[in-house]
Amino acid sequence: MILDLLPVAVKKYFEMSKRQRKHEMQMTIWYMPAVYISLAIVIGFITLFLDVGIEMYNYVPSIFRINADATRILVSTLIGGILTLSAFTLNSLLVVLTTFSGQFSPRMLLNFVSDKRTQHALGIFNGSFVFVLVVFLFIGNSSDEFFVAVPFLTILLAFFCALTFIYFINHATTWMQVHNITFTMKKTSEEIINQTLSKDLEAHRTTESGDTKEIERENAVSVGAIKSGYLQLINYRHMIEEAEKDNVIIQLHSQIGDYTLKGNKLISYWGPGADKVDEQKYCRMIELGHKETEIQDIQMGMHKLAEIAIKAIGNDDPKTATNTIHQMAELMLTVENYITFTPYLMDSQKQVRVILLEESFDYYIYRGFGYIRHYAGSNHLVITEMIRAFAMISESIGSSKHASLWTFACNTVEKMDPDALYELDKNFLLASLEKLAQKTENMKAYHRIEERFTTT
């Protein structure tokens, strides 16, 4: 009942799971400033208590005492100064966000906003401004002749704000550099793999299907989505535990990042305890929302990196596209090292309880490089760098993934027109492809491609 009285912007946080609420609050621009403002109010009252309550100036040397008129002038002056720094900071923030949206990807805006350094800078300015306002409000009509804590702390905050302003400008200009942007995107995706997917999935993965109760599967019960939206979050651990208690097997028909309509098949279940299953219980373990999130979705990070490369190709900036391809290649190694490509999740008794949509290394290659390849078109410089990246990946990755790398690279090169390339372009392209062919043991196929390029 009380929740119905709250604004929609606030109410939505109470309707989220704890994990999603934490993620969403970290992505907002008001969360950290609100913390600093609350802290500033507390510090303000402590400061006033020291000067007005216990008259601290009676216990310190006279050199530290500042008369009331000078204190009021100081505080009132610094109100405008700190507010001016806050305005410049906000203006710089808007410039950065506009640049990101126009030159790179609008989906990167939240990454800069959620950056801890950005949020702490905004928090410091807002907190300092509120502090001087609170202090000025109570010292304006004070009968005390001297102050100590108020002027000292006010000057200290002003000095700290000036340093923070310089730090924020340096942070914004550094963050906007292409190599830092792509590195940040790659690190975000790696954190999703290492912290989220490894904890949520890898601890329960098994390569053996085991007893999937195929007889009961013929009578599987399907459950539709309770609303339309993107699949944002799945509580795999809780789902496995509940499936074990209910003695059923759950199969998911969508994966994180997919969009589903209300009523579309979301899950199905079967097993000895299927007739006693509370379907809504499992639906509540799946978060659906109006937007994609990065909590469990590694594809989101890949899409951001791909969009940077696509924008760079459209802006005739091959160096940026090349840098993005290198970061994507490193991300592929993380995918191979930390993700087991099996759809089966087991419980504590080694019994399969959850079956996911099956993924493969080909799927991640396509998600990472497919869009770049499409928009690169006949841009042989970008294609050559992509083949070179595949050759580097093949040196560091297991041989079981070599066929996927070679197939993607081979299909890419076969669509290129040899007549549109200069001699040196052909040489560099074939050199990168030959290195990949050697590592993946596909020299026969390489010679056929080489012959097509050299006989024109």
The full set of domain ranges for the chain reads: 3-176, 211-358, 377-456
Contacts 24+ apart (CB under 8 A), 42-51: 43/131, 43/153, 44/130, 44/131, 44/134, 44/135, 45/134, 47/135, 47/149, 47/150, 47/153, 48/134, 48/135, 48/138, 48/139, 48/150, 50/148, 50/149, 51/139, 51/144, 51/147, 51/148, 51/149, 51/150
pLDDT of residue 435 exceeding 90, the answer is yes
Bigger pLDDT: 334 vs 106 = 334
pLDDT at 281 over 80: yes
pLDDT on residue 443: 92
Give mean pLDDT, residues 388-411.
Answer: 91
- pLDDT average, residue stretch 298-314: 84
Asked whether the beta carbons of 84 and 125 are under 8 A apart, the reply is no
Per-residue pLDDT, averaged over 319-343, amounts to 85
The residue assigned the tokens 């700190």 is 82
pLDDT at 119 over 90: no
- What is the average pLDDT across 259-272? 91
pLDDT confidence tier of residue 253, bands split at 50, 70 and 90: very high
User: Is pLDDT at 100 greater than 70 in this prediction?
Assistant: no
* Range in 106-110, 163-167, 282-286 with the lowest mean pLDDT: 106-110
Average pLDDT over residues 420-428: 88
In this predicted structure, what is the pLDDT of residue 10?
Answer: 58
Q: How confident is the model at residue 431 (pLDDT cuts 50, 70, 90)?
A: very high
For 163-216, what is each residue's pLDDT tens digit? 988 888 888 888 777 777 778 778 777 777 776 666 777 778 888 888 888 888
The H or E element containing residue 38 is: helix 31-48
pLDDT band at 7 (very low <50, low <70, confident <90, very high): low
| Arithmetic mean of pLDDT, 63-86 | 81
Confidence at 93, pLDDT banded by 50, 70, 90: confident
pTM of the model: 0.77
Q: Give dist(CA 7, CA 33) in Å, integer.
A: 20
Does the structure show a pLDDT above 80 at 452?
Answer: yes
Q: What pLDDT score was predicted for residue 36? A: 92
pLDDT at 335 over 70: yes
Tally of helices (H runs) and strands (E runs) in the chain = 19, 11
Residue 5 has pLDDT above 70, yes or no: no
Closest CA to 190 of 346, 29, 19, 327: 327
Query: Of 309-313, 330-334, 355-359, 427-431, which has the strongest mean pLDDT?
Result: 427-431
Q: If you average pLDDT over every residue of the chain, what do you get?
A: 83
Angle separating helix axes 116-139 and 31-48, nearest 10 degrees:
30
276, pLDDT greater than 80: yes
Angle CA 405–407–412, to nearest 5: 100
Query: What angle separates helix 402-414 from helix 443-454, to the nearest 10 degrees?
Result: 10
For residue 142, the model assigns a pLDDT of 63
Structure tokens at 221: 């019960």
Is the pLDDT at 456 greater than 60? The verdict is no
- pLDDT band per the 50, 70, 90 thresholds, residue 9: low
Beta bridge partners of 259: 230
Give the CATH superfamily of 211-358.
Pyrimidine nucleoside phosphorylase-like, C-terminal domain (3.90.1170.30)
Asked whether residue 82 carries a pLDDT value surpassing 60, the answer given is: yes
Mean pLDDT, to the nearest integer, of 386-413?
91
Q: Which two tokens stand for residue 121?
A: 């800078």
pLDDT band at 400 (very low <50, low <70, confident <90, very high): confident
User: Is the predicted pLDDT of residue 345 greater than 70, yes or no?
Assistant: yes
